[in-house]
A and B are shown apart, each in its own frame.
Chain A
Amino acid sequence: MKKFRMLFIVLLCLLVTAACSSGGTNGNTANSGNNSGNASGDVVTLKFMGWEASPLETEAVKKGLEKFMQQNPDIKVDYQPVPGAQYAQKLLTMLAGNAAPDVFFLGATEYRSFQNRGVLLDLTTMFESQMSLDEFIPSSAQIMEINGKIYGVSSCTVSPVLYYNKDVFDKANIPYPPSDPANAWTWDEFREAAKQLTVTEGDKIAQYGAFGFENFYMTTAEIFSNGGQLFNEDGTQMKINSPQAQEVLQSILDLRVVDGTSPTAKTLESIGMRANQMLQTGKVAMVVDGSWALQELATMGFPVGVAALPKFEDAKTHGQAHVHSASANTKHPEEAWKLLQFLSSEEYQIGLISEGLWMPNRKSLYTEEGIQKWYNESVHPEGFRELVSFFENAEPYPFTLITQNKVNDIITEETDKLWYSGQSVADTLANIESRSNVELAK
C-alpha cells in the first residue's frame, strides 16, 4: 500500500513542479524580452494577433512579417493566429485581462464598438505625420475615421460582386454580364438571364440561374443600388423602411418564389456546397459573393467571370475590410506604429491583391500604372480592369459605422421570416426598423 502511496505522491509532485516550471519559463522569456527592449533598446518584442481567414492569408502574413523584421532588426514580431470564429471574444477577454497583444487585426464591424470602450491606441498624430486619409478610397477612409481621429489603419477592401461560369453562358448562348459598372445589367436583364439559365430535368431543377442575394451582405448592395439607405447619416437611426428597399427585397424574393430561378441557401449549403462549388459544378450559373472568393475560384479549373452587380438605379456595391489596430496599453507605441505602417504598405498588400483575395484600399493602386502593379492574368479574369472602379467607388459597408451589432441579428431574424415563412416585405422592413431603433437608442 505504502509503495503505491509514495508513487502517487511522487507523480503528483512531478506534475505540480512540471506545471510550475513551464509556467515560470514562459514568464521569464516574456519578461526578458520586455526588459531588454526597455533598458538597452536592443530588441522589442511585439505581440501581434490575427485570424486565419485562409491558409494563403496566414502564409502571406508570416512572409510579410519576416520582411518587416529584416527591415527593423530591433523589432521582433510574435505572431499569434486565432481561429476566426472566436476572434472577437478572445481579443476582448485578453483586453479585459490586461494581456492584450500590442497590435491586432480588428473586424471593421467591431472597430467602432471597441473604440467606444477606449481600448484602441489613438494613432492620429503618427498617422497624420506619414499618411493622409486622402490616399485611401472613400469607403476605407470613412471607416477608419472616427470623429476626426484614427484608431486603426485599413488593410484592404472587399466587396460583393457577381461571379459566373462562362461555360454555362456559352452553352446557353447568352452574352456575359458586363464587367464595366457603367454598362451593368439592369435588374430586369439579370432576371431574364436567370430565367433562361435555369434548366429543369423532369420535375427537378438541374441548374439554377442565380444564387446569393438573400444573404443580407449582398442585399445591402442592391438597396444602395436602388438609392435606398440602411441608416441615417450618423448611424443613430435605422432608415431602411423605404419604397426603394421594399422593391429590392421583393425582387430578390421573386427570383426564388415566383421565377424559381434561385435555390434556398440550405439546399446547396447543407450538402456541403459553397458558392464557388455551385459555380464550378454548374449547379448555379451566377453567384453573388464577396470579392475575396476570386482567390479560390481562380484555382478551380473552370472559366470564371466577374461582373458588376445588376443595378436598380446605379450600379453600386459596398466595401469594408479589417483594420490593424494597437492596444491603448501597449508599452511600445512607436514600434507598434512601425508595424501598422508596414501592414498598410503597398509592398505588403500587393501579394494578397494579386492572388485575388484582397482589393487595394489606396487610390494610387487604381490608376493605370497602379493596376499594373497587382494585376495578375492567371487570377483576374478578362474585363476585370473595367470592374475596378466598382471597388474604388464603393459605399462604406453600413454595419461598420454603427456600434450595436445586435442590429445585424435582428435583420437576420426578420429577413428569415421574409425568406422562409411568408412575412410580407412591408412588415419585415417595418419590424427591422422599429426593433433596431430600440437597440440603437440604447
Chain B
Amino acid sequence: MKVEKRLSGSGAKMRGPAPAPGRTSAIKNMFHKDGTWAFLLLLPNIIGFLAFTLIPVIASFFLSFTSWDMLSPMKWVGLSNYVELLNDETFIKVFWNTIYFAGISVPAGIVVSLFLAVALDQNIRFKKFYRAAYFLPVVSSMVAVAVVWQFIYNPEYGLLNYFLSFIGITGPNWLTSTVWAMPAVILTTIWKNLGFNMLIFLAGLQGISDSYYEAADIDGARWHHKFLLITVPLLSPTTFFVTVMSFIGSFQVFDTVFLMTQGGPARSTSVIVHYLYENAFKYFNMGYASAMAYILFFMVFVITLIQFWRQKKWGVN
C-alpha cells in the first residue's frame, strides 16, 4: 500500500496539477478489480482450453453422428455409428479388454502403493532414497520404460523368466501369448504408476494425527488393528481421490499398449483408446472414432458417479 501511495503521488506531480481524473480512475479501477486481473492472467490458459479441449469435445460429439474421413464431405448418419459399435465384435473385445485392464490394475495398484506408502512412512533408514526410487518410474519416459520391460519379458534372455526358473517355473513367452500379454502390460503399468499413488498416500498419511496411534498403543492395539481401524478409515478421502484418478487413467490407457504390444497378439491387449486411434488415424473413420470416444466418456462418467455415491455412503467429505 505504501508503495502505491508513493507511486500515485509522484505520478500526479509529474503530470502536473490538473490530471484527467475520469480516465485515470477508470484504468485504475480496472487494475484494482482482482477479477479482471485474474481473467487477464488466465487468458492464455483459457484460450488453450477453448481451442484444444472444449471446442474439440463439442465438435467430436457432433462428429459421432456423422460419417467423415476428413476429406470427403461429412454425412449425417444419426445413431448408426453407435448401433454399429454395439455390433462390432472388435469393439466388444476391446471393451472387455479395457474393463480387464482397469479391473486388475486399479485395485492392485492401489493396494500395493498403499502398503508401500505405509512402509515408507515409518522411521526407516534411507527412506528418502526409497521414496525417490519408487517415484522414478513416474517421471521416466514411457518409451524407455516399454523398452526395458520388453527386455524383462523376453522369453529366453529376460530377467522375469530367469527368476522364475529359480523356483522351477518355465515362464511363458509373455508378450506373444494371447493369455499372458495383458497381465504383462498390467504389471508394467502398475510399476510405472506406483510412485505417484504412493506419494499421494504419503501426503494423506502425514495428515493423520499421531495422537490416534498413541491412544491405540495405550489401549494395546496390534499393528494390524491400527492399520485397519485408524489408517484405512482416515485415509479414505485420499483413497477416494486415488481411485477416481486411477480409474480415469486406466480407461484411457494407450501409450503402454501402443509401445509394448501394438494391441497384439491377436488384439489381446487392444483397449478402447487404441482401437479409437486406429479408426481415426489408420482407417480415417472420424465419426466412428468419435462415437467410441463418447462411449468411453460415458463409462468414465458412470464409474465416477458410482464412486461419488459410495463416497457419500462412506461419509467422506
- Considering only residues 400-436 of chain A, those with a C-beta below 8 Å from chain B are 404-406, 409, 412-414, 416-417, 419-421
Whether A1 sits at the interface, judged by CB under 8 Å, is yes
Whether A95 sits at the interface, judged by CB under 8 Å, is yes
Q: Which chain A residue lies CB-closest to B41?
A: A8
Cross-chain contact B266 with A421 (CB below 8 angstroms): yes
Nearest chain A CB to B176 CB, angstrom units? 5
Partner of B151, one of A89, A118, A265, A272: A272
Q: Which chain B residue lies CB-closest to A86?
A: B281
Q: Which of the 9-residue segments B16-24, B55-63, B64-72, B227-235 touches chain A?
A: B64-72
Q: Which of the 9-residue segments B97-105, B152-160, B200-208 touches chain A?
A: B152-160
Whether A20 sits at the interface, judged by CB under 8 Å, is no
Q: Which chain A residue lies CB-closest to B1?
A: A1
Would you give the 0/1 interface string for B25-59, flagging 1 where the beta carbon is closer than 8 Å to chain A? 00000010000010011001000000000000000
Nearest chain B CB to A410 CB, angstrom units? 9
Partner of B266, one of A9, A12, A404, A413: A413
Nearest chain A CB to B58 CB, angstrom units? 18
Total A residues in contact with B, Cβ cutoff 8 Å: 38
Contacts of A409 in B (CB 8 A): 278, 282
Q: Given A420-B177, A420-B178, is A264 in contact with B71 using a C-beta cutoff of 8 Å?
A: no
Give the number of A-B contacts (CB < 8 Å).
93
Contacts of A118 in B (CB 8 A): 71-72
Q: Given A2-B7, A272-B151, A412-B264, is A92 in contact with B176 using a C-beta cutoff of 8 Å?
A: no
Partner of A117, one of B69, B264, B267: B69
Q: Given A5-B37, A421-B266, is A264 in contact with B155 using a C-beta cutoff of 8 Å?
A: yes
For the complex, would chain A's binding face be called helix, strand, loop or mixed by DSSP majority?
helix
Whether B175 sits at the interface, judged by CB under 8 Å, is yes
- Considering only residues 145-167 of chain B, those with a C-beta below 8 Å from chain A are 147, 150-151, 153-158
Cross-chain contact A270 with B154 (CB below 8 angstroms): yes
Partner of B3, one of A3, A204, A272: A3
Nearest chain A CB to B16 CB, angstrom units? 22
Nearest chain A CB to B113 CB, angstrom units? 27
Q: Given A412-B264, A413-B264, is A96 in contact with B70 using a C-beta cutoff of 8 Å?
A: yes
Known: A266-B154, A420-B177. 10 other contacts (CB 8 A): A2-B4, A117-B72, A118-B72, A267-B173, A271-B151, A271-B157, A409-B278, A412-B264, A417-B265, A420-B265
8 nearest A-B pairs in the assembled complex, by CB-CB distance: A416-B266, A416-B265, A117-B71, A270-B150, A96-B70, A421-B178, A417-B266, A89-B281
A-B contact pairs, 25 of them (CB 8 A): A1-B3, A1-B4, A2-B3, A3-B3, A5-B37, A8-B41, A12-B41, A88-B282, A93-B70, A96-B71, A117-B71, A117-B72, A266-B154, A266-B175, A270-B175, A271-B157, A409-B282, A412-B264, A414-B266, A416-B178, A416-B267, A417-B178, A420-B173, A420-B178, A421-B265
